Chain A
């Protein structure tokens, strides 16, 4: 049984896009938090300034993928089928956090909800619901 924290770190280190965003994953037991430290390359609107909406979507997508790998174990990277992103508040130039909740995993499809926040957990800045094509290792 490999250490899930090491497995996820090794996986992220292999993904150029995760390095490009600056994404990190922290595990507290089986609870996973994705962390996106602020960087100027993430800004979409320079006037406010605000993090690009696409970056927040991408960050939450990666959070869902990482959560599926951590919780379910996957023979290969899950594929995104569809996502629905809700923008609640503009992303300020701060560290952004996200947590994912797997609502259901079947033989092929997983349904995952993600919420992202910054300085106030009770005031989320964005949410994502998505379907993913999965290959759970336990069920193969």
Chain B
């Protein structure tokens, strides 16, 4: 189990460094353990959603929560599986404070053969005073044998 977690620590770092959107947001995994994953996005003026207040766009919180939930799924598994977000529900409780980094803590609380269920909170200072909360479901073994470059091929007309 700890071997899997060690491997996943390397994997999530590679996932952050290999994912152009994670790089663009300067997303970083601070911790990954059997209870889940904690990630951070530093405050950046280019991510402001409300120019009148300087508050970071809700979309940044959405991307951070999606990313954190995905990484938390790997902590709930005992071997690597490909995953895909099935649905993501987010409650926005309050605006993030301008100038502060945003964190997300995600916990995978149930895994079935096909689906993993995850809860997460986004916060700036205190996880008990969240900016947003998320509930997500992920498909496991989502790749269906589709490998490298699969999305570069034409999709069958519907």
Contact = CB atoms under 8 A, between A and B. Distances in A.
A26 interface: no
A54 B20 contact: no
B63 A57 contact: yes
B34 interface: no
Interface size class of B (residues with CB under 8 A): 35 or more
Interface in B54-74: 56-60, 62-67, 70
Contacts of B63: 52-55, 57-58
Contacts of B62: 54, 57-58, 61, 83, 85
Nearest to A62: B59
B58 A54 contact: no
Interface string B45-59: 111111110001111
Contacts of B66: 52-54, 57
A72 B151 CA distance: 38
A38 to B, nearest CB: 11
B13 interface: no
A54 to B, nearest CB: 3
Nearest to B90: A83
A123 B158 contact: yes
A50 interface: yes
A85 B62 CA distance: 10
A17 B21 contact: no
20 contacts: A15-B57, A16-B46, A17-B48, A43-B21, A44-B22, A48-B149, A50-B151, A51-B21, A55-B59, A57-B63, A57-B90, A58-B57, A77-B49, A79-B95, A80-B58, A80-B92, A85-B90, A87-B85, A90-B84, A120-B155
Interface of B: 18-24, 45-52, 56-60, 62-67, 70, 84-92, 95, 146-152, 155, 157-158
Interface of A: 14-17, 19-21, 40-55, 57-59, 61-62, 76-77, 79-87, 89-90, 92-93, 119-120, 122-123
Given A43-B19, A49-B149, A59-B59, 16 more contacts: A16-B48, A17-B48, A20-B47, A43-B20, A43-B21, A44-B21, A48-B150, A49-B152, A51-B21, A53-B66, A55-B63, A57-B59, A61-B59, A84-B89, A85-B62, A87-B88
